């Protein structure tokens, strides 16, 4: 015998003031049928709870859909008894532009959900639900999560965000066999920036665990790093939550860590055969008992699945590192052993470029709290954060940053006029092993006219090397003011300038000032610098003009 919740006569009112469309507490939209919200409102406000039943279609036209009260509810026609039967209602969000769905520990259910808000526009989901505080029989499906999807979600929009401050209770939750569609696939411009969950409910006739395969379409604000799970998942008491987290796992807090901890990547925390873990980020993998539904978020209580799960991830680009695809391994952090374990066995990745696949298996009955890209060699010695090339007067200024350095000997500054054949024009020595951000720069004072290509090549102590992406600059300095000769020079360098100068600096290749000349009065024309006492080598002559412009030229001292 099914027990029905009491229903109250309900009414939907449209108030024209303040451009807010209000839905009063207790309204039921009975299908088949359609409710089309009026256009031109800035917000739709649910003043309590509302229900859609029997295949009802609701057309949303406000950019902000909000449940106003604590434990408010936007319900489908699940009958609160075991087993449940799914409804087949549809919600269409149609406002063209950025949208938001928000609540305050609200229950927000969707059967079929369509974000028809325009390609490139963002849907912000800003709700976190702690689940029902009482007998779960009466509100089956109130798992932790911002919104629950029972049938299908169509993402006809750009990025969808969830509240990262509530990684489990703020996630998008897909129940049983509910799926989603990205018309152009999961891309950097269309994915979930946040957390996504799977849960199994006792639903009449509904299979569990997505048929053994589910892809979490997760990433950050700019990149998609989806994770695919393959394996039997039929537990009804557990939720799997996945999200991508930027940052070094050795210093970045695990969002679902039991004690808000980090997942150390230093020596004693690396399992057998794993010698390094990339610092670019990690996948937060969290399995939690729904029996913890009355607990806030956090604390978190990680548990395990009773069946093995094969995991395939799309990796960040590692082609700037001296590492081969065969050396990469999917690693999982085991809080029981406090180690990153090799989940891939002897198998490497399909490549090192962005989006290459890396596969491993989480064993049954094993707690895992994070997944990352590891290496069986020390071949992740340098993490390039950035590399830029820009014109500075008639010179090329190259700047790059690293986030980690291990076993790094030096950098080669390389130049090309065709983008294929590179010559080394400078060497910059490493600042040593480091886990902090390091900054480097190099000035090419003799950049050729026309288009020039640059790259930085990092070299290990063992000779392995890897290059950054290539940057190009176009130089047009035929009318430069400065002339310096002879070049190469032995004792004197003569400068011929047609503008008044305020000072001259002679810089080493590493940027250190080895000679400074400041005239007693503004000077122009021809004058000389004594470089007899300067050691042999390549130097950069920098002239600072009265008008605060600068010009540089490279000098070879013999």
- pLDDT at position 91 is 98
- Same structural domain for residues 169 and 143? yes
Domain contains 539: yes
- Same structural domain for residues 361 and 505? no
- Same structural domain for residues 267 and 406? no
- Same structural domain for residues 435 and 356? no
Structure tokens at 513: 């000032």
Strand partners, 542: 505, 552
What is the length of the chain?
A: 558
- Same structural domain for residues 145 and 63? yes
Q: Which long-range contacts (CB under 8 A, 24 or more apart) does 42-45 make?
A: 43/19, 44/20, 45/20, 45/21
- Boundary-marking domain end, from 454, 475, 496: 475
- pLDDT at position 458 is 82
- pLDDT at position 382 is 63
d(CA 233, CA 213): 9
- CB-count burial class (<10 Å; 0-12, 13-18, 19+) for 477: middle
Q: Could you tell me how far CA 274 lies from the centroid of its own chain?
A: 24
Domain contains 231: no
Domain contains 291: yes
- pLDDT at position 10 is 36
- Same structural domain for residues 87 and 157? yes
Taking alpha carbons only, the member of 409, 408, 389, 405 closest to residue 397 is 389
Domain contains 13: no
- CB-count burial class (<10 Å; 0-12, 13-18, 19+) for 191: buried
- Same structural domain for residues 118 and 171? yes
- Boundary-marking domain end, from 345, 379, 413: 379
d(CA 196, CA 164): 11
Instruction: Tell me the CATH number at 428.
Output: 2.60.40.10
- Same structural domain for residues 374 and 403? no
- pLDDT at position 11 is 37
Secondary structure (H, E, C), 528-544: EEECCCCCCEEEEEEEE
List the Cα angle 213/353/472 in 5-degree steps.
Answer: 145
Domain contains 226: no
Structure tokens at 510: 């590493």
- Same structural domain for residues 260 and 349? yes
Domain contains 110: yes
Domain contains 227: no
d(CA 480, CA 501): 14
Domain contains 400: yes
- Tell me 302's DSSP state: B
- pLDDT at position 15 is 38
- pLDDT at position 80 is 52
* Range list of β-strands (E), 25-146: 27-30, 33-36, 43-47, 49-53, 56-60, 64-67, 73-75, 90-93, 99-102, 107-118, 123-126
- pLDDT at position 122 is 97
- pLDDT at position 58 is 98
Instruction: Tell me the CATH number at 546.
Output: 2.60.40.1220
Yes or no: say if 168 and 239 are a contact pair by the CB < 8 Å rule.
yes
Yes or no: say if 349 and 357 are a contact pair by the CB < 8 Å rule.
yes
Q: Could you tell me how far CA 189 lies from the centroid of its own chain?
A: 12
Where in the sequence is the domain holding 402, given as residue range(s)?
Answer: 382-475
- Same structural domain for residues 545 and 448? no
- pLDDT at position 244 is 98
d(CA 115, CA 65): 13
Calculate Rg over the CA atoms of the chain.
31
- pLDDT at position 552 is 81
- pLDDT at position 133 is 43
- CB-count burial class (<10 Å; 0-12, 13-18, 19+) for 226: buried
Yes or no: say if 146 and 127 are a contact pair by the CB < 8 Å rule.
yes
Structure tokens at 426: 């400078």
- Same structural domain for residues 298 and 321? yes
Yes or no: say if 340 and 374 are a contact pair by the CB < 8 Å rule.
yes
The b/e string for 319-338 (b: 16+ C-beta within 10 A; e otherwise) is ebbbbbbebbbbbbbbbeee
d(CA 496, CA 528): 9
pLDDT in tens, the chain (558 residues): 233 333 333 334 433 345 999 999 999 999 999 999 999 999 999 999 999 999 999 999 999 999 986 668 899 886 555 557 788 999 999 999 999 999 988 889 999 999 999 999 999 999 988 764 444 433 444 567 899 999 999 999 999 999 999 999 899 999 999 999 999 999 999 999 999 999 988 777 888 999 999 999 999 999 999 999 999 999 887 899 999 999 889 889 999 986 658 898 887 899 999 988 988 899 999 998 766 545 556 678 899 999 999 999 999 998 767 788 999 999 999 999 999 999 999 999 999 999 999 999 999 999 999 999 999 876 455 667 788 998 876 778 899 888 667 667 889 999 998 888 899 999 988 876 666 778 898 988 777 778 899 999 888 776 777 788 889 998 876 555 677 778 788 888 888 777 788 888 888 877 788 888 887 666 667 778 888 888 988 888 888 888 777 888 888 888
Taking alpha carbons only, the member of 237, 212, 92 closest to residue 152 is 92
Q: Report how many domains make up the chain.
A: 4
- Same structural domain for residues 93 and 63? yes
């Amino acid at each position: 015998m099914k027990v029905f919740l009491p229903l109250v006569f309900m009414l939907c009112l449209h108030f024209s003031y303040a451009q807010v469309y209000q839905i009063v507490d207790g309204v039921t939209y009975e299908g088949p049928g359609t409710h089309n919200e009026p256009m031109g409102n800035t917000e739709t406000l649910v003043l309590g709870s509302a229900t859609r039943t029997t295949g009802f279609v609701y057309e949303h036209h406000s950019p902000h859909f909000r449940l106003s009260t604590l434990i408010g509810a936007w319900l489908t026609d699940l009958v609160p008894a075991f087993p449940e039967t799914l409804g087949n209602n549809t919600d269409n969000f149609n406002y063209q532009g950025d949208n938001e769905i928000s609540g305050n520990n609200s229950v927000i259910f969707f059967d079929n959900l369509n974000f028809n808000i325009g390609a490139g526009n963002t849907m912000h989901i800003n709700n976190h639900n702690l689940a029902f505080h009482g007998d779960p029989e009466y509100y089956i499906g109130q798992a932790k999560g911002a919104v629950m999807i029972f049938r299908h979600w169509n993402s006809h929009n750009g990025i969808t965000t969830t509240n990262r401050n509530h990684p489990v209770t703020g996630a998008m939750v897909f129940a049983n066999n509910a799926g989603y569609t990205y018309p152009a696939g999961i891309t950097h411009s269309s994915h979930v920036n946040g957390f996504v969950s799977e849960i199994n409910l006792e639903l009449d006739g509904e299979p569990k665990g997505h048929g053994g395969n589910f892809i979490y379409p997760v990433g950050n604000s700019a990149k998609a790093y989806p994770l695919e799970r393959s394996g039997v998942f039929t537990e009804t008491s557990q939720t799997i939550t996945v999200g991508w987290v930027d940052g070094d796992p050795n210093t970045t807090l695990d969002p679902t860590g039991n004690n808000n901890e980090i997942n150390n990547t230093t020596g004693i925390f690396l399992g057998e055969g794993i010698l390094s873990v990339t610092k670019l980020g990690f996948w937060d993998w969290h399995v939690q008992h729904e029996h913890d539904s009355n607990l806030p978020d956090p604390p978190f209580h990680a548990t395990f699945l009773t069946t093995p799960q094969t995991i395939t991830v799309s990796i960040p680009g590692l082609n700037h590192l001296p590492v081969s695809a065969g050396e990469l391994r999917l690693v999982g952090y085991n809080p029981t052993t406090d180690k990153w374990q090799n989940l891939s066995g002897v198998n490497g990745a399909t490549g090192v470029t962005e989006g290459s696949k890396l596969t491993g298996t989480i064993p049954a009955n094993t707690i895992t709290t994070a997944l990352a890209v590891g290496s069986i060699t020390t071949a992740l010695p340098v993490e390039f954060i950035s590399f830029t090339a820009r014109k500075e007067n008639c010179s090329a200024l190259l700047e790059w940053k690293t986030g980690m350095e291990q076993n790094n000997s030096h950098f080669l500054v390389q130049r090309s006029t065709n983008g294929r054949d590179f010559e080394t024009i400078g060497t910059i020595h490493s600042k040593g092993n480091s886990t902090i951000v390091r900054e480097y720069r190099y000035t090419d004072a003799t950049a050729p006219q026309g288009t020039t290509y640059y790259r930085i090549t990092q070299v290990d102590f063992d000779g392995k090397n890897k290059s950054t992406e290539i940057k190009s600059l176009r130089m047009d300095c035929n009318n430069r003011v400065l002339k310096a000769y002879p070049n190469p020079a032995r004792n004197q360098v003569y400068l011929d300038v047609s503008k008044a100068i305020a000072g001259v600096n002679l810089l080493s290749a590493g940027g250190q000032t080895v000679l400074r000349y400041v005239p007693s009065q503004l000077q122009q024309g021809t004058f000389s610098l004594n470089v007899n006492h300067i050691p042999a080598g390549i130097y950069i002559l920098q002239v600072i003009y009265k008008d605060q412009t600068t010009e540089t030229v490279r000098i070879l001292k013999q």
